[in-house]
Amino acid sequence: MTDSTTAPDATLVRPRDKRERLVEGACRAFYERGVEHTTLADIARLADVPLGNVYYYFKTKDELVEAVIASHAQLVAATLARLERHRNPKERLKAFARLVRDQGDTAARFGCPQGSLCSELDKRQDGLDGLAAELIRIPIDWAEQQFRAMGRRDARDLAVALIASYQGMSLLTNTLRDPNLMAREARRLERWIDTLA
C-alpha cells in the first residue's frame, strides 16, 4: 500500500546515491517482474548504475531483497503516518479505504507491491519470508490501533479482516485486470467501517 505519489510504477526519481538508486530500481523491478525474474543487471540498468557497482553495495541478491523489504516497510509506515492527520480513527480507516481505491490501475497491472513480494518470498522459506511478513503486520497493527481507539474489543480481528480484504481485492483486481473492482470494493470497505463506529 502506497499513496499515489510514491507508487512503484511512477517515474523513477533519481535518489541521491547509487545505493538508494539500486534499492529504488529493485523495488520497481521486483514489483513489475518479481524477484525470481529480475536479474542484478536489470536492476543496475533501472538504477543507471554499472553492474559492477551493485556488488559494492550488495554482496548478494538476497541482501538487495532485504533492502527492498526495509524500503517497503518505511514507505508503508510513512503512508499510514500521513493518515493520522484525519481527526478520528473512523476517518483514518476510511482514508485508508480511499487510498486503496486510488490504487486500482496499478493493482490491475501488478497487484499490491507488498502483498506480491510477500507471496513470492513466502515460497522460499529462507528467512526472507519472515522479514517480508512485517510488510503485512505493519498495516494490521495500525488498523488494530484505529479500531481499538473506536472502542472495539475485537480490534485485532477487524484489523485482520480489513487487511485481508485489501489483499484479496488487490489479487482479484490484478487477476481480472479490472481496476474498477478495486474502487467498488474500497467503497464497500468505507460502508463497512461506518457500520462499526
Residues 36-86 have pLDDT tens digits of 999 999 999 999 999 999 999 999 999 999 999 999 999 999 999 999 999
**Spatial separation of the C-alpha atoms in residues 15 and 6, rounded to whole Å:** 13
CATH topology of domain 65-196: Tetracycline Repressor; domain 2 (1.10.357)
Q: How does pLDDT run across 73-106, given as a tens digit for each residue? A: 999 999 999 999 999 999 999 999 999 999 999 9
Per-domain boundaries in the chain: 65-196
**pLDDT for residue 9 is more than 80:** no
Q: Residue with C-alpha cell 485486470?
A: 177
Residue 103 backbone phi and psi in degrees, to 5: -95, 5
Q: Where are the alpha helices (DSSP H) in the chain?
A: 18-33, 40-47, 51-57, 61-82, 89-101, 104-110, 113-122, 128-149, 155-176, 179-196
Which strand (E) or helix (H) includes residue 58? none
Question: What is the chain's mean pLDDT, rounded?
Answer: 92
Q: Report the alpha-carbon distance of residue 162 to residue 154 in Å, rounded.
A: 12
The pTM of the whole model exceeds 0.85: yes
Q: What is the pLDDT of residue 4?
A: 45
